[in-house]
Amino acid sequence: MRFISYLFLLLIPFIGQSQEKDPVLFSVSGKDVRVSEFEYIYSKNNQKEADFSRKSLTDYLNLYTKFKLKVQAARDMGVDTIPALIKELEVYRQQLTTNYLNDREVTDRLAKEVYERQKKDVLINHILFSLSPNATGADTMKSYELAANAIKTLKNGVRWEDACKVSNDMNSAQKGGRLGWFSSMFPDGFYDLENAAYSLKPGQIFPIPIRTKLGYHVLRLESERPAYRRMEAAHILIKKSSRYNADIPAQTKADSIYKKIKEGQSFEELARTLSDDKTTAAQGGNIGYFGINQFEPAFEEAAFKLAKDGDVSMPVESSIGWHIIKRLHKDEEIPYERAKRKIQADIQRDQRFAIAQATLIEKIKTESGYKENKEALMRFVNLMDTNFFTYKWRIPDSLVEEKLFSLGNQNFGTHDFAEYVKTNTRQRLQGGDQKDVSTTLKNMLKEYASQKCLQFEEGKLEDKYPDFKALMREYREGILLFEATKNVVWDRASEDTSGLKMFYEKNKQNYKWDERAVIHAISIDTINKKLADEIYKFAKKNPINKVLAKFDAEKKYISFQKIIAEKKSPESYKGIGFTKGSMTDLTLDADLTSYSFRKVEENLPAGIKTLDEARGYIIADYQDHLEMLWVEELKSKYPVKVNETVFNSLVKN
């Protein structure tokens, strides 16, 4: 006991130094908020406006103390014990953890590699020798030797086109082995193929077979070019076989549409009315963003040759018809610091991530003093029977608990590893092709130890990475705040009808209409100009109900939309005016199938809005009112203490 007391006294100076470096700024109900937390959240939320002036700091301190009051209330309400919210927080933690459970230096190197490679597209050819991912050693060697022999024959002068005839990829073999244009990142599982492709010059063949999940590839780089990247485009399609083109060849019709565009007619309107691609016609032909290898080469080449946004291609032929393409927007190269976040997120879904994670695991082992008991593993191996590579295998009763390896002060023994081996049946059975128990168990132990290393590291993330700790605190308290505010403020404002009505009666002068115009937007579904003119003429002197009664009592082709426009918002009655009886001209709509016009049907005086008319605004204001009352209640319930000396030390100007 004396030793422990003495040790505590020795630690006091260090504890004191730590707290002096990060003093308490304020506390809520005895829970401290230190300067580091406040500075982090103040700087993050204010960005460039975080000038550390007295006014700015005071304003944000008021906001943050209110936030902490609500968080404390949420805890007292038991919000942090709700299973669904606990699960949500755990899901977030797992997502956030992924960003930290890899070697950041390696991840950054891999991201820069992708960034540099994305400046160039590569056209690659291959010869494939297929191989199952679970192939035996004999099959693997056979496939490798076939690929190696193909490379040897190519070096000896065999034409690439002739060598391709033995490829198991029949589709590409018919095209001289051509796979097409690619850019980094290649699909997941093809990183080695990408590395090889970007190491070659046009015309070169990679000197050794490349293994992917499909088998072994013989790779040849055919060509390269500056990256196409991605483009947003629109098109007008005239199909080769269409009932609309029965009398006119598709190319002729496409040429005539292209001529109209060059004469100044709207590309979008022509797409809406004439394009045979009905899925995009309504959007003016917009097909969205696309990159390489998404459409036929002729279409892509024509699209990516367009020099600037707004340029339109001449009609280009594809297998289905003729396309007129308009470039809307093209992605250009952006600085690495802006591109890095997306690239790193993509890497986490790619085999590259395993490289960064493997580097981290080795660091964890070094930092934690990882030690493996090889003798214990061999004793484990020697206990395995002939059922090891079958579903019948069970953990031997004679297995003795021994330490297999240690991480820091944590030991991991044979029984836990045995459970892992039993549970991971697929990994165990995969080793059955070789019938090598020792190799299989060594591989499984490596995987098991890697998992434990990552779990070991995950438990230290809050202590090791201040930004991780801050993000978890933000999300945790954000969940608590949202749920508590929902219960106390938002739900009550929506459900408390009597309270809402009382609030409205007390504050109804705040909800007023300006002078208003009732505008009817009238549509006539006909191409009969004479009928439309007759209806328009009658509508000048008569209200909409009489128009309907005279021309369309069954409301089959005349429709209208009622619009309320306030005088203080001129944009709402632009082009028609505010005077009763004002009308726009009769206009043939863009689809050429209907006519329309607008009319000011009546004027309404200024006045107070009813509860229903202003409900949305009233509920929002009532929520603010309830929140204000809640905060005042919390201030009296939970004492807030601010260290003025510490606060003053933060003020910079």
pLDDT digits (tens, 9 = 90+) for 14-23: 334 444 688 9
Residues 436 and 531 in one domain: no
pLDDT of residue 5: 36
pLDDT exceeds cutoff 60 at 2: no
Residues 204 and 244 in one domain: no
What's the mean pLDDT in 185-204?
94
Number of domains in the chain: 4
Q: How confident is the model at residue 247 (pLDDT cuts 50, 70, 90)?
A: low
pLDDT of residue 7: 32
Which amino acid is present at 111?
A
pLDDT exceeds cutoff 60 at 204: yes
Instruction: Tell me which of 572, 590, 608 is where a domain ends.
Output: 608
What is the rounded average pLDDT for all residues in the chain? 90
Least reliable range by pLDDT among 57-61, 100-104, 390-394, 441-445: 100-104
**Burial of residue 622 (number of CB atoms within 10 Å: 0-12, 13-18, 19+):** buried
Mind listing the pLDDT tens digit for each residue in 271-283? 999 999 989 998 9
Beta-carbon-side half-sphere exposure of residue 617 (alpha carbons within 13 Å):
14
Whole-angstrom Cα distance, residue 415 to residue 429?
A: 20
CB 230 within 8 A of CB 240: no
Q: Give the residue carrying structure tokens 């230096």.
A: 105
**In the chain, pLDDT over 90 holds for what percent of residues?**
72
- Three-state DSSP string of 192-227: HHHHHHCCCCCCCECCCCEEECCEEEEEEEEEEEEC
Residues 222 and 245 in one domain: no
Strand (E) positions, 507-578? 512-513, 516-524, 558-566
The β-bridge partners of 129 are 216
- With respect to residue 51, please indicate whether it lies within any of the assigned structural domains: no
Collapse the DSSP code of 238 into the 3-class scheme (helix H, G, I; strand E, B; otherwise coil) and give the result: strand
Mind listing the pLDDT tens digit for each residue in 331-363? 988 999 999 989 988 888 888 888 888 888 999
Whole-angstrom Cα distance, residue 600 to residue 586?
A: 14
pLDDT exceeds cutoff 60 at 251: yes
**Burial of residue 323 (number of CB atoms within 10 Å: 0-12, 13-18, 19+):** buried
79 Cβ contact list (under 8 Å, min separation 6): 85, 479, 480, 483, 484
- With respect to residue 478, please indicate whether it lies within any of the assigned structural domains: no
C-alpha 212: how far from its chain's center? 28
pLDDT exceeds cutoff 90 at 542: yes
CB 30 within 8 A of CB 76: no
pLDDT of residue 544: 93
CB 250 within 8 A of CB 239: yes
- With respect to residue 651, please indicate whether it lies within any of the assigned structural domains: no
Q: How confident is the model at residue 13 (pLDDT cuts 50, 70, 90)?
A: very low
- The token pair at 24 is 């308490």
Instruction: Tell me which of 173, 208, 226 is where a domain ends.
Output: 226
CB 71 within 8 A of CB 480: yes
Residues 258 and 222 in one domain: no
Q: How confident is the model at residue 431 (pLDDT cuts 50, 70, 90)?
A: low
pLDDT of residue 323: 96
- With respect to residue 364, please indicate whether it lies within any of the assigned structural domains: no
- The token pair at 633 is 């209640």
What's the mean pLDDT in 263-275?
92
pLDDT of residue 203: 94
For residue 256, give the CATH number of its domain.
3.10.50.40
Whole-angstrom Cα distance, residue 388 to residue 397?
A: 14
Mind listing the pLDDT tens digit for each residue in 550-588? 999 888 999 999 999 999 989 888 889 899 999 999 998
Collapse the DSSP code of 132 into the 3-class scheme (helix H, G, I; strand E, B; otherwise coil) and give the result: coil
Least reliable range by pLDDT among 8-22, 138-152, 279-293: 8-22
Least reliable range by pLDDT among 73-82, 390-399, 458-467, 594-603: 458-467
CB 296 within 8 A of CB 304: no
Residues 221 and 236 in one domain: no
**In the chain, pLDDT over 70 holds for what percent of residues?**
95
The DSSP symbol for 29 reads T
CB 254 within 8 A of CB 322: yes
Pairwise pLDDT comparison (581 vs 246), residue with the higher score: 581
DSSP-derived secondary structure for 453-479: HHHHHHTTHHHH-HHHHHHHHHHHHHH
Mind listing the pLDDT tens digit for each residue in 624-644? 999 999 999 999 999 999 999
The β-bridge partners of 411 are 406
The β-bridge partners of 566 are 516
Instruction: Tell me which of 426, 445, 464 is where a domain ends.
Output: 445
pLDDT of residue 434: 60
Mind listing the pLDDT tens digit for each residue in 86-129? 999 989 988 888 778 777 788 889 999 999 999 999 999 999 99
243 Cβ contact list (under 8 Å, min separation 6): none
Whole-angstrom Cα distance, residue 609 to residue 618?
A: 10
Q: How confident is the model at residue 160 (pLDDT cuts 50, 70, 90)?
A: very high
Residues 187 and 263 in one domain: no
- With respect to residue 524, please indicate whether it lies within any of the assigned structural domains: yes
Q: What is the pTM of this model?
A: 0.58
pLDDT of residue 606: 93
Residues 238 and 205 in one domain: no
Whole-angstrom Cα distance, residue 114 to residue 108?
A: 10
Of 105, 64, 97, nearest to 465 by C-alpha is 97
What's the mean pLDDT in 444-465?
90
Domain range for 200 is: 119-226
pLDDT exceeds cutoff 70 at 9: no
Whole-angstrom Cα distance, residue 83 to residue 482?
A: 15
Residues 221 and 265 in one domain: no
- The token pair at 553 is 């009592």
pLDDT of residue 426: 85
Mind listing the pLDDT tens digit for each residue in 289-307? 999 988 998 999 999 999 9
Helix (H) or strand (E) holding 283: none
Whole-angstrom Cα distance, residue 609 to residue 648?
A: 48
Q: What is the phi-psi region of residue 285: left when phi exceeds 0, alpha when psi lies from -120 to 50, beta otherwise?
A: left
pLDDT exceeds cutoff 80 at 246: no
- With respect to residue 127, please indicate whether it lies within any of the assigned structural domains: yes
Residues 134 and 168 in one domain: yes
CB 414 within 8 A of CB 399: yes
What's the mean pLDDT in 164-185?
92
- With respect to residue 633, please indicate whether it lies within any of the assigned structural domains: no
- With respect to residue 516, please indicate whether it lies within any of the assigned structural domains: yes
